Chain A
Amino acid sequence: MNAEIALVLSRIVELAPGIREFWLTREDGGELPAYSGGSHIVLSLPLPGGIRRNPYSLVGDPNDHQKWRIAVRRQEQSRGGSAWLHESAREGQSIKVSMPANLFPMARLARHHILVAGGIGVTPIVSHARELARLGESFEVHYAHRAPEFGVLTNELRQLAGSDLYCYVASRNETIDFRELLNGRPLGTHAYLCGPQGMVEDFHKTARDMGWPDTHVHSERFLAPPPGEAFTVRLARSARELVVKSDQSMLEALEAAGTEPPFLCRGGACGQCETEVVACDSTIQHNDLFLSQAERDSGRKIMPCVSRLSGGCITINL
């Protein structure tokens, strides 16, 4: 479970203020496993306080077996991961990386693909565009960003999509009108978006209002685990107890205590780390995008990657 390989941070490129690209290669120069467009990897970042595992979408060419590329924006509210990558990461450094997993795959039977990127959400969109261009599929790309200098992957997308790349620059008051974007599209069109939360919600709502079924609308968004009050976790099966610090996620605390719960996205999206709640003397703050309302109401499940307790103690079946 959670197999990791040690790779080398072989190259660091400053793409824009606060946005860096990283190349990961094998220490022995050998080939990396294949992945599909939309995949992400989890980096184990050696922060001073311990390992911090963050998911990043692969941005490069899925057929490039020599290197994996990621692009990282420095988060203003960084919990340390993006700050470390921007300040402490050095070329030549070894870093542990998970195998690629894909929670944002393309619909292979689509007749046309509309790819939409908001800001740094452009990363999985580039790998999709590469694969679609290689397959000769019909697609277009819409890329919204804050200001001209933040359109960091515009040239790459231009090469792939040509005149079917449309850029929207907020500093020039350009925005994407989803209603216009989705109007009058042929049957079998699929739309994909990776971007900030408000944009994702607006996209899904507009599509639904226009009669698009959810099967044709795809999005990806990883949440960062929000900080909160410290709380206690009791492990029912191993009869142990540990404390989740206020700036730590429950999953991170479990890992720090030596347990190895399964995970894929670490961002509340995939459901892999779902854990059974045996008892709880406080309120669970469900921050994930995975559990249904009924599952939340039952109080029997928690996603330890992003969800936590407002103080108190939770007993889980681990």
Chain B
Amino acid sequence: MSTPRVISRGATTSSELDSDYKWGFTIDIETDLAPKGLSEDIVRLISDKKEEPEWMLEWRLKAFRHWVKLDQEEPKWAQIHHPPIDFQDIHYYAAPGSKKGGPKSLDEVDPEILEAFEKLGIPLAEREKLAGVAVDAVIDSVSVATTYQETLEKAGIIFCPISEAIKNHPDLVKKYMGSVVPYTDNFYATLNSAVFSDGSFVYIPKGVRCPIELMTYFRINQADSGQFERTLIIADEGSYVSYLEGCTAPARKKSQLHAAVVELITMDDAEIKYSTLQNWFPGDKDGNGGVYNFVTKRGKALGRNSKISWTQVETGSAITWKYPSVILQGDNSVGEFYSVALVNNHQQADTGTKMIHIGKNTKSTIMAKGISAGKASSTYRGLVKIMPSAEGARNFTQCDSLLIGDQCGAHTVPYIEVRNPTAQIEHEASTSKVSDDEVFYCQQRGISVEDAHFMIINGFCRSIFQELPFEFAMEASQLLKVSLEGAVG
């Protein structure tokens, strides 16, 4: 995948912000929009639009009723601050095009949309350049295109929008949806369960190694809407899949809510590698606008010797509240979390992971790098929990923070709960700034202060970037550079 090119935007409308965010354009497409607000009728409307079976609607309604009971009690323990969210001032459903049902082939997709994805560097046409990556493109509440369906079908792999999976593979969806993140899990997961729109569904059959990388690209386009996608990935015995996720949004004055749920399940000997490049609109220099990224991501390593690996590069969003976690249930299962979280200007990130060790000889590794610049605040918050049954469990955690400038904050809040004496837990963390000596050394060799900083920061993140697929790693490095512009030098 190529690096997103700089795009010259058209005239900014009054609802857009002037910022350096290069993915902040909007496209003018016909949109089928549900009225603002959240009620049982809206839940029914969404379910109806998606032509869902009765059991799905029932599940949504259960979630919605539970959400009402929560009485707008959002979780308050995170190190983030924002004005109260008016949950009645959001469009919970926005679909490009007025046609019922998604387009059947690329030819049916609105050329405006194709062009938009082209601009984002995610061409949807199946061609040489992107060979090797199958893309599911989601705009607002609807998946607009899924590429390489044929290649995948040959291998028996299911890769489709979740709304299709609900219709075509109800048994799998019924069995696994909510099995990792129940609808009662937390405030935002409950909200998502009631109003979730599109997202991806992946099933890798027994013994299959997915031949190409799968990718979902999320795009918020509609103003005043929220995106509530839901992704479910199941890797059956002995299978492997590498899944990538990317996201951007227009630069709008008003903050937009993104509350996703991702569930991963691995059977015996299976492996899922999940990589995220999160580049939602971060708001402008003064902290106006930006996406509130409140997501629940969790994997269940159900089978023996299975492995779930999360890699994330978080540069976008005004606020990130995200803890991709692994429940290590199968014996000898492995959980990994590699993260770079960069915040600049007024961004806030409270992110980390939870590793719940249940099976014997389970192993987890956590590497988190936080970079704060401007007036931003970043927090690593992570839980390592060893249950009494997790004989011989092992965890290693390292979280480092780098501070750029004296107006920002960097926090580390690990929780370690050990209930088995044979477990070995190590946690290390450090906080420092880019060393003056290192910068001086670079300057002596003719490297500018700014370049020296990028070099040092890149080195700081290297161990995480190495975990990303090649193209993603290149893009991540670029993103970092763009996000840090103006912070140093």
A and B assemble together: no
- Residues of chain B touching chain A, judged by Cβ–Cβ distance below 8 Å, are none
Binding site for B on A (CB under 8 A): none
